[in-house]
Chains A and B, each alone.
Chain A
Amino acid sequence: MSTVLILAPVIISNWPAIAVAAAGAASALGFTIKQTAQEAIKQGQQTETEQNVELELAGSEVLAQGLATDQKMVLTKGSMQIVVERDARGRCKVCASGKGQSKAQLKQAAEEFTQKLTQCFIYDKVMRQLKGKSFQVVNEELMQDDSIRIHVRRWVD
């Protein structure tokens, strides 16, 4: 053993990289990507009476580069809808809403999605960086607690 680090994730990236992670999280949690930004805005006007819960990804920053002003991602699963977007302060925001869903259910869904998005984002970033440093993946497995364990190796002179 040499050193063991525990690292807290920080999401600072441009929108395309966050959108890829959001799509990964959606797929893992059974959501489907539904609409374009324009349709989402229209839908938002129609569902004003629904309950909704908003969560912000702690320490996140969506870089304005490559981001249109109304760009967002709308995901649905049954009557549940999750919207991922960049808020006015540049933070990544997740909003869960849906007919017949309690605040607690929406909060739980938003938290679960936020965590999965963070995991997907960090996984993509770490794997890209490892490949860039010529590491070979020895083993990769999804554990029972939903964590991802990656074992990599490289030879150095």
Chain B
Amino acid sequence: MAQHEVEITISRTGEVKVHVKGAKGKACLEYAKWLTEVVGRVKSQQNTNELYEPEVKSRIDLRQDLRVDDGSS
């Protein structure tokens, strides 16, 4: 499971700053779109590298054991 966090700051004038954390790629853009529809219209948007990372759906751990045969056996 992934943890998605959003930090929302509503200024005294009603302007809203939204910071989406943890969500990557499409999920992040969906949050941005949804919150824009809730609040009003986009004044500015700043994307960071994490936005462009693929969402992790599954993970496989690979392990390889290395043995050194010194010929003593």
Name the residue of chain B whose CB is nearest to the CB of A120. B14
- B14 near A118 with CB under 8 A, answer yes
Contact with A along B36-47 (1 / 0, CB 8 A): 101111111111
Interface residues in A116-157 (C-beta closer than 8 Å to B): 116, 118-119, 121-123, 125-126, 129-130, 133, 135, 138, 143, 145-157
Known: A2-B28, A3-B45. A151 touches B5 (CB 8 A): yes
**Tally of A interface residues using CB under 8 Å:** 39
> Which residues between 48 and 72 of chain A lie within 8 Å of chain B, taking CB atoms?
59
CB atoms of A155 and B23 under 8 A apart: no
A2 to B41, CA, bound (A): 19
Size class of the contact patch on chain B:
35 or more
User: Which residue of A1, A126, A155 contacts B3 across the interface (Cβ within 8 Å)?
Assistant: A155
Chain B residue with Cβ nearest A115: B13
Contact B12 A156 (CB under 8 A): no
- The one of A1, A122, A152 in contact with B16, judged by C-beta atoms closer than 8 angstroms, is A122
Q: Smallest distance from the beta carbon of A58 to chain B beta carbons, Å?
A: 10
Could you tell me the distance between the alpha carbons of A155 and B40 in the complex, rounded to whole angstroms?
A: 26
* Residues of chain A lying within 8 A (CB to CB) of residue B43: 6-8
Assuming A125-B38, A155-B2, A156-B4, is B15 touching A8 (CB within 8 A)? yes
Majority SS of interface residues in chain A? mixed
Is there an interface contact between A149 and B9, defined as CB atoms closer than 8 Å?
yes
Taking a contact as CB atoms closer than 8 A, the residue among A7, A59, A125, A155 that contacts B15 in the complex is A7
Counting chain B CB atoms within 10 Å of each CB, which of A4, A115, A121, A129 scores highest? A4
Measured in the bound complex, the distance between the Cα atoms of B7 and A151 in whole Å is: 5
Interface centre among A5, A151, A154 (most CB of B within 10 A): A5
Whole-angstrom distance between the Cβ of A55 and the nearest chain B Cβ: 13
Other than the given A122-B16, A143-B9, A157-B1, 17 more pairs (CB < 8 A) read A3-B48, A5-B16, A5-B19, A5-B35, A5-B36, A6-B16, A6-B17, A7-B17, A7-B40, A118-B14, A121-B14, A130-B6, A133-B34, A147-B10, A149-B9, A150-B10, A155-B4
